[in-house]
Structure 1
Amino acid sequence: MSEKNAVLIVEDSPAITLLLKNYLGKLGYSEIYTCDSGGSAISTFEGLASQGKQPIVLLDFMLPDMDARSVLTQMLEVKPDVRIILETATEKDDEGIKELIRLGVYQYIEKPIRFETLKNIVETIESEQSFFEKESNENKLAEQSSDEIKTKIKNHIDFILKTANQISLDRIIGLLGFSDDLVTEYIAELENKGKLIKLDEKKEIACNQCDSVRTSQIFFCPNCKSSNFKLGKLIEHYDCGNVTEENTYHDDKCPNCKKELKALGVDYRVMQNHYICNNCDEFFPELSTEYLCLKCENKFKITDARWKSSINYKIINT
């Protein structure tokens, strides 16, 4: 039996952390790291990556010090092929969850966590690991029998389709890591069985170096360029001009002048959904962004991107 991956649990609930750690231990995982904040998670992840490890990450959607998108961004910059399992009580149809999935989250698991679901996900990651290694997949396939090749391709495509409602042919090929007639043959087979519905062509951002559509947006502070940020609520006190996070206003008093806040719109205003940089303490309604190629690790701006079009499919889950 091959050695299992390390696991990094990023969860601020000690009870959930303990349950996850005990269960993963029963599955045979011995190298398990736990963090209760985004900052400690990034440091631990960087340390593991520097040792050549490829940890599976269980990431809580809500963390006390950092936005989940910030954690995702920083981990992707360290290892673009990181497998992150997002755990949250929020519905999958929530726009925030869907955005994280689009940006590079590998899988999504609902709270309360069903351990059988977690088992299926981590077992799939382990079994798929060698297939997604950076060595030539064509060479690996050449060493296998025709039946083995077909089975592997079908299993990989089936798994990819479970993670999306719609997906393009270019995206499937990008996730597989190679193009082959067997891929298009199996897609056509699924279409004939009514498991896929062909839609119009989809235009997607592609890397300006390797042409891959496996890209993710990377977000950072417009002021200091750090990706260490969180989404928060700010309060501006009109009398003294103080603008700080809501949690700095204790007992409805301004942390700067100590005056009591009485009337919303008269004494103060609330600034919803602002990003607060943990490094420079500046705040912004929008973050700066660029793109990261998850295949060749090239970074590029939207103005420098290539665009590719391919057939888009709707997945019919029955």
Structure 2
Amino acid sequence: MSESSIEKNRLENIDLMQIEYFSDLPISKREVIVMEYSNPMAITIRKFLTSVGFEDVHICKEIKDAVRIFSDFINKEVSVPIIIDDNISYENIKRIVNEVFEIQPNAKIIIITAKEKNDIQITELLSAGISSVIQKPLSLQSFRNVFSHIFENNDQGQGMMAEQSFEFIRTASERISQNKIQDILKTSNIETENLIKKSSESRNIMLETEILEAACNQCNSTNITYIAECPNCKGINFKQQNLIEHYYCGEVFPKEPNNTTCPKCNKEIGAVGTDYREFSDYYVCNSCNDRFPKPLSRFNCLDCNNFFIEKLAAWKKSKIYRVRS
């Protein structure tokens, strides 16, 4: 396979991973985007949307503005419903639908129309993947029905994904922490407790003990990883190795198998205790050749990317569950 083909396949795999990731984003119940040219109609739509619970209604008259705002929310890992009034041309409606679906394939798009649902243009849009249609004349109940259906399906989907993710973590572990489950899955206290309760009742896990866990001192997440580095160059290319101090010339160097010659004076190192001594449990950096008794240890938060040392960590109590095979 050529290098260009390999690179193409790699990029296609990355695109598929991004599509799968963005498809799982939660739907905002606070923000909504409206594509509407008419000011009086925009005011009416805003009134209905605030009545069903939306707090921030982004009214757009240009397609590029609606797509930009939607893309900004996706970058913040939140999907926002989009409402399009079909008082714009059908070609422009298809354009915004296509652009939004390129960003998030399962985006929630609602069309406001005076046409019947069996109209050829409406059926084409429904086939393309729009979520629903609100027919004119507008009513508060029609808005309630549409968003109740969208959020109910989304909540069910999110619940199923949380259960699947929990099972993946459980089956890949010998012990699991309640804090880590909640921080990794981004579930609420109640949702996390329900997942654990269900698994406990199925005898898949059992409560073992309670511990203190290190947490990020910036966002309080326990979804962190431990990093060990060379204190001198901050590299990771080091290994544990005993050191030899040669009494004759004072040289200190890493002990190597079958090496009996000092690299400085080129003399035989002699007998241990008489001609040289060993330092155990040292580390040698292959990048800068520094030697040290203990690596520099830091934590990296996988949620906010904060780096911090152990003495600055926050500490949280957590229940530990043993996974039963």
**TM class, shorter-chain normalised?**
0.5 to 0.7
Q: Are 1:233 and 1:274, in contact at CA under 8 Å, matched by a contact in 2?
A: yes
Residue 238 of structure 2 corresponds to which residue in structure 1?
Answer: 229
Which of 303, 306, 316 aligns to 1:298? It is 306
Q: Per-residue deviation at 1:294?
A: 1.2
Residue 175 of structure 1 corresponds to which residue in structure 2?
Answer: 184
For 2:171, the aligned partner's letter is K
Structure 1 counterpart SS, 2:319: strand
Higher Rg of the two aligned structures: 2
What TM-score does the superposition give when structure 1 sets the normalisation length? Answer: 0.53
Residue 195 of structure 1 corresponds to which residue in structure 2?
Answer: 204
Distance 1:137 1:270, change over 3 A: farther
Residue 165 of structure 2 corresponds to which residue in structure 1?
Answer: 156
Which of 220, 229, 247 aligns to 1:211? It is 220
Q: Are 2:178 and 2:192, in contact at CA under 8 Å, matched by a contact in 1?
A: no
Residue 263 of structure 2 corresponds to which residue in structure 1?
Answer: 255
How far does the alpha carbon of each residue in 1:240-295 deviate from its partner, in whole angstroms, 9 at most, with x for none?
11111223x87521111111133222222333332112343220111122221111
Structure 2 counterpart SS, 1:274: strand
1:53-68, aligned counterparts within 5 Å?
Answer: none
2: distance between equivalents of 1:229 and 1:164? 28
Tell me whether 151-160 or 233-242 shows the greater mean CA deviation.
233-242
2: distance between equivalents of 1:126 and 1:306? 32
What TM-score does the superposition give when structure 2 sets the normalisation length? Answer: 0.52
Distance 1:220 1:282, change over 3 A: same
Residue 283 of structure 1 corresponds to which residue in structure 2?
Answer: 291
2: distance between equivalents of 1:135 and 1:210? 16
Q: Per-residue deviation at 1:166?
A: 1.4
Root-mean-square deviation (CA, aligned residues, Å) is 3.9
Distance 1:144 1:135, change over 3 A: farther
1:1-318, aligned counterparts within 5 Å?
Answer: 30-31=6-7, 129=21, 135-136=76-77, 142=151, 144-179=153-188, 181-247=190-256, 251-317=259-325
Residue 110 of structure 1 corresponds to which residue in structure 2?
Answer: none
For 1:188, the aligned partner's letter is K
For 2:215, the aligned partner's letter is A
Where structure 1 has 5 or more consecutive residues not aligned to the other structure, the ranges are 1-20, 22-28, 33-47, 55-124
Q: Per-residue deviation at 1:127?
A: 10
Distance 1:158 1:315, change over 3 A: same
Q: Are 1:206 and 1:213, in contact at CA under 8 Å, matched by a contact in 2?
A: yes
How far does the alpha carbon of each residue in 1:6-55 deviate from its partner, in whole angstroms, 9 at most, with x for none?
xxxxxxxxxxxxxxx9xxxxxxx9459xxxxxxxxxxxxxxx9xx9x97x
Q: Are 1:137 and 1:178, in contact at CA under 8 Å, matched by a contact in 2?
A: no
Q: Per-residue deviation at 1:233?
A: 3.1
Where structure 2 has 5 or more consecutive residues not aligned to the other structure, the ranges are 26-73, 81-106, 108-149
2: distance between equivalents of 1:136 and 1:179? 17
2: distance between equivalents of 1:264 and 1:126? 59
Structure 2 counterpart SS, 1:262: coil
For 2:324, the aligned partner's letter is I
2: distance between equivalents of 1:309 and 1:138? 33
Q: Per-residue deviation at 1:144?
A: 4.2
Distance 1:197 1:137, change over 3 A: farther
Tell me whether 275-284 or 187-196 shows the greater mean CA deviation.
275-284
Aligned-residue identity in percent = 31
